[in-house]
Amino acid sequence: MTKPYSESLQRYHLTEFKPEWAAIKRGIEKESLRVTPEGHISSGDHPVALGSALTNPYITTDFGEALLEFITPAYNDIEQCLKMLENIHRFSLQNLEQDEMLWVSSMPCPLSSEAAIRLAEYGSSNIGRLKNLYRQGLSNRYGRLMQVISGIHYNFSMPESFWQPYQQRCGDTGSLQEFRTNKYLHLIRNFHRYSWLLIYLFGASPAACKCFVQGREHHLQELDEYSLYLPNATCLRMGNLGYKSEAQKALFVCYNEIESYAECLSEAMRTSYPAYEKIGTKKNGEYLQINTNLLQLENEFYSTIRPKRVTKKGQRPLEALMSEGIEYVEVRALDLNPYLPLGIDAGQVRFLDTFLLHCLLSESPECDRHQFFEVASNIALVVEQGRDPDLKLNLEGKPTRLRDWANALCEDLQHSASILDTLHGSNAYQESMTTQTAKVNDPDLTPSGQILREMQERKLSFFGFSMQQSRLHRDTLQDNGLDAATLELMRATSAESLRDQQQIEADDKLSFDEFLVQWNAV
């Protein structure tokens, strides 16, 4: 039920919420595998027409040479953000080689072996070789299969005009940078408490190809000759077969203040780990990983959300956070929705904004070790059993039905939806809330429920379903052209990125051995 605007302000202890404060900035990063017309992972080079994966701001690669990553700038307007993502998709699809297409599921296509996955390559510069070596380290530590799972990262920040008035409203007299950083940590703590709801609502990976678990222990069930699943699973991508690190399991990362967060990651990046010492850093003259530490780099820490700041040239992410504070947060718990051409739509974006604004404005007690691992336990339960109507999660140590907690949380989220609708002069945020609340009360409406129902009713394997959707979205996006201005922008950006890579390579003064020694010494 829609909340009155005045009641919503009162909920967050606000006397006003100015229209300009609703100009939330968001950017989207979306990963997709390049696959052949037969649905096999591409073994080809990153297409030259897409520019340099090292320097193109819109199109790069993630772990593998075939794992494309599309990046939008940050926009205040949702439709502009999604239009840019669509344009990047169209340009990329129209410039893939050998009739390749994009795999629309988060779980990867069938793979004959890990050797079929080429590590991403970034040229001969020191920074390009470091990016490749980081991926070599991931390969040696975790294997390549889990690294080609795809997802969507959602970047969120409040407009600059919001912060100083909000600081005054909170009665904070410290620096604006410290206040903003503390409030983003406040958001992150709440996000962790409630992130299981996003996994339930948007999880779209309830099944996988059998080849994905070859040689690994698992308790998935057989759906058909080629597919494995769990009957009530939502998001296997976020489970034990997905983005998980046994070495990081006991790592307690505290989000109460930026200093403790940075110190935890810094310690992990300077503490050698026995299993990685066994791998070593070099064999037969070839590098195997950047170092033997628990984390090679900050990005190796697996988390559903990260505090972020755009870095300057040569600056490390943690250094930027410590010196200049948190600029935005990056949500990393989202699957690709194979029913949507872009993997995400405006309704989901509005819900994410509603959810994140609520996390920022509502109360956020400091976390402790017990709560940190309680959150991890809740996520694991929702990943594998989320659509079980009787599933219970732990709320401050008390067993609570997921459905009851989710309905109560959605009721509370109506307050931030009301604020955003009032300021935008619409009911679009309320409509997104209505859509998601319906999923809480009917698990079959979730993407994971829809996928399993279609696979079972139409007797489709995971591969068959994913191929069907990949071809459908390829045709939708390939058959419609780009306007002349957009096409020129994308072509010019790709050409410029190739020149930029050449310049970076020409500017190197150190050997890679010297560069790596300096990098590890920081």
CB 482 within 8 A of CB 87: yes
Record the tokens describing residue 196, joined without a space: 């299981």
CA-based torsion, 187, 192, 193, 196: positive or negative: positive
Q: What is the pLDDT of residue 521?
A: 84
Per-residue pLDDT of the chain (522 residues; tens, 9 = 90+): 689 999 999 999 999 999 999 999 999 999 999 999 999 999 999 999 999 999 999 999 999 999 999 999 999 999 999 999 999 999 999 999 999 999 999 999 998 888 899 999 999 999 999 999 999 999 999 999 889 999 999 999 999 999 999 999 999 999 999 999 999 999 999 999 999 999 999 999 999 999 888 777 889 999 999 999 999 999 999 987 765 566 777 677 889 999 999 998 999 999 999 999 999 999 999 999 999 999 999 999 988 999 999 998 878 999 999 999 999 999 999 999 999 999 999 999 999 999 999 999 999 999 888 888 899 999 999 999 999 999 999 998 899 999 999 999 999 999 999 999 999 999 999 999 999 999 999 999 999 999 999 999 999 999 999 999 999 999 999 877 799 999 999 999 999 999 999 999 999 999 999 999 999 987
Q: Spell 437-471 as b/e; 16+ CB within 10 A means b.
A: bebbeebeebbbbbbbeebeeeebbbbbbbbebbe
pLDDT, residue 243, reads 57
CA angle 171, 175, 177 (to 5 degrees): 110
Cα four-point dihedral sign 218, 219, 224, 227: negative
Q: Can you tell me which residue has the tokens 């907690």?
A: 405
From CA 271, how far away is CA 150, in angstroms rounded? 29
In this prediction, residue 455 carries a pLDDT of: 98
What domains does the chain contain, in order, with CATH numbers? 5-521 (3.30.590.20)
Per the CB < 8 A criterion, the answer to whether 103 and 35 are in contact is yes
- 58/50 Cα distance (integer angstroms): 9
Which pLDDT does position 253 carry in this prediction? 83
Q: In this predicted structure, what is the pLDDT of residue 112?
A: 82
In DSSP notation, 105-137 reads SSSPPP-S-GGGSPBP---SSHHHHHHHHHHHH
Dmax (CA) of the chain = 69
List residues bridging with 27 in a β-sheet.
155
